[in-house]
Amino acid sequence: MPSLVNMEVELAVKGFLIDQEKMVEVVERMTKELKMGLAKDTHPRAVIKCFVTYVQDLPTGKERGKYLALDLGGTNFRVLLVTLLSQTDIHITSKSYEFPSTLMTGTGKALFDFLAECLAEFCKENAVENDNLPLGFTFSFPLQQQGLSKGILVAWTKGFNCEGVVGKNVVQLLQEAIERRGDIRINTVAVLNDTVGTLMSCAFNHPNCRIGLIVGTGSNACYVEKTVNAECFEGYQTSPKPSMVINCEWGAFGDNGVLEFVRTTYDKVVDKVTPNPGKQTFEKCISGMYMGELVRLVVVEMIGRGAMFVGDSSQRIQQRWSFKSSYISDIESDGPGEYRSCNKVLHELGIIGSQEADKEALRFICEAVSSRSAKLCACGLVTIINKMNINEVVIGIDGSVYRYHPKYHDMLQFHMRKLLKPGVKFELVVSEDGSGRGAALVAATAVQSKPKM
C-alpha cells in the first residue's frame, strides 16, 4: 500500500478491492445466470439473456466482395465500405460522423434519419449509391434477434434513450429511413452486435478465436456455443450447423441483485444518475462510460472531507461526468513517482498546485476502479470458457478501456490464469475493426446463405 496515501482514501476505496474468494463467487453466480439465459424455460426471467445471433459460421478466410457497414453504439457513429479482396488484402474506407448528443435521447425517427443521411452522403462520396450493396449493421445494444436481418431492441444502454425504438425491428427502422430519402439503394442483410463483429474479425486471422469481448463505453461478450445448447433458437435440435454465436449481454448481470457483494456506495450513486437505473449492473462496474465517474465520486468525497486537494478549489471536478475514463488510463500510464500525465489531467480539471500525496491518492483510486473492472471481466471470461469446456481458446477484444489502459491486458490475463483450471490455454488478442471487417464478414455469410433459404 503506498505510504503517501492516507487512511481516509484507503478506507474509501476498500469496497472496490475484491479478493480471489469473491471472484470465485462471481464466476459461480454468473455461470448460473448464463445457463438460465440459454435454456428455453428460464430465458424469460434470466438477466444474462444469451441472445441467439443467427451467426452460425465463423469466417473461412475465403469471403470476398464489397460491403457497406454501419457502426452505432460506441462514442462515434461510423459508415464503412469494406472490400474483401483476399485473406490478407482488405480495403476499408470509413468515415466517422459527429453524433449530436441530443440524438441519443431524441426520437427514434430523428436517430434513423440521421443514420440514413450519413449513409447517403458516404455512398455518394464513394460513388456506390446505386450499387445495392449488402450492408451489415453493427448495432451494439441488446437485440432479440429473429433472424440475421431482424432484431428487436430490448432496451437502450450506454446513455441512449431514443423514443419509439424499444420493441421494434431496428433493421426495418433503418431500411424505412433509407427509403424515405429515396436517393440510395442499400440492402441491409445483417444486424450484429459489436462483440460478434469483434469475434468474426479476429477469427478471420485466428481460427481458434471463439470469444468476442468489448471493454469500451459499454461491456459485453459473445461466444461460440453448440447449436443444441442454444435452446432459444427454433432449429436448435434440427440445424445442420453445429455452432451458434451467442450474444451474452453480460452487462445486465447483477440486475437481480446477485452482485451486491461487489458493489460500493459509489456504484449506487452512479446508477441513480443514469437513464437506466437498476439496469446494466455488471457493465456499470466495468466499462468506460462509468469508470471515470466512479473515480470522481470518490475524489469529491475526499475533497469534502478535507482528505485530498486541500486548498485547491476546482469547480469542474464537482460536475457530473467531468472525469473522463480516459484520464484513468492517462494517470496509470505514469511510472512510479512520476506525474506527467497526472499533471495534465489535473490541469484540465482546473486543479493547480496539488501535493504529491494527492496525486498518489488519485492514482490509488484509479487503480482500485480499473483493477476491479479487469477482475470482473476476468470472471466473465472464465465463466464463458468453463461453460464452453475447452482447453484452448483465442479471445478477440476491442474497446477503448482494453486498448488504452496501460495495465488492463496484464491484469485480465493474470486474474484469468488464477481462476481457470490448470492447463487451460488462452490468448487475448486485440481485434481490428470488428464493426467494419466483422460486419462485412457477417454480411458475406448472409449473402452466401441466401439462395439456400
Site string for ligand BGC, 101-140 (x = CB under 6 A): ---------------------------------------x
Could you tell me the smallest distance in angstroms from the CB atom of residue 141 to ligand BGC?
5
The torsion angles phi and psi of 62, rounded to 5 degrees, stand at -105, 0
Q: How far is CA 383 from CA 6, 101, 366, 416, in A?
A: 36, 35, 26, 10
Q: At what angle do helices 20-38 and 356-388 cross, to 10 degrees?
A: 40
Pick from 53, 56, 149, 220: which binds ligand BGC (CB under 6 A)?
220
> Max alpha carbon distance in the chain (Å)?
72
The DSSP secondary structure of 57-80, one letter per residue, reads ----S---EEEEEEEESSSSEEEE
The 10 Å Cβ neighbour count of residue 278 is: 11
| Shortest separation between residue 175's beta carbon and ligand BGC, angstroms | 21
- Cα distances from 80 to residues 126, 327, 330, 339, in angstroms, run 10, 29, 30, 39
Asked if residue 214 binds ligand BGC (CB under 6 A), the reply is yes
- Kindly state the number of chain residues that form the binding site for ligand BGC, as judged by CB under 6 A: 17
Q: For ligand BGC, give the closer residue by CB, 157 or 169.
A: 157
If binding is defined by CB under 6 A, does position 77 make contact with ligand BGC? no
Candidates 113, 194, 334, 358; catalytic one: 194
Burial class (CB in 10 A: 0-12, 13-18, 19+), 13: buried
Catalytic residue among 49, 71, 113, 158, which?
158
Decide if 255 is catalytic: no
- Residue 318, C-alpha cell as written in the block: 464537482
Which residue in 130, 132, 135 sits closest to 115, CA to CA?
Answer: 135
- Binding letters toward ligand BGC, positions 249-288, x by CB under 6 A: x-x-------------------------------x-----
Q: Which residue is nearest to ligand BGC (CB)?
A: 218
195 binds ligand BGC (CB under 6 A): yes
Question: Catalytic site residue 131?
Answer: no
Among the listed residues 249, 207, 157, the one whose alpha carbon sits nearest the alpha carbon of residue 394: 207
- Rounded to a whole number of angstroms, the minimum distance from the CB of residue 60 to ligand BGC is 25
Which of residues 73, 136, 197, 292 is near ligand BGC by CB under 6 A?
Answer: 73
Chain residues that interact with ligand BGC, rule: CB under 6 A: 73, 140-142, 157-158, 193-195, 214, 216, 218-220, 249, 251, 283
Catalytic machinery residues: 158, 194
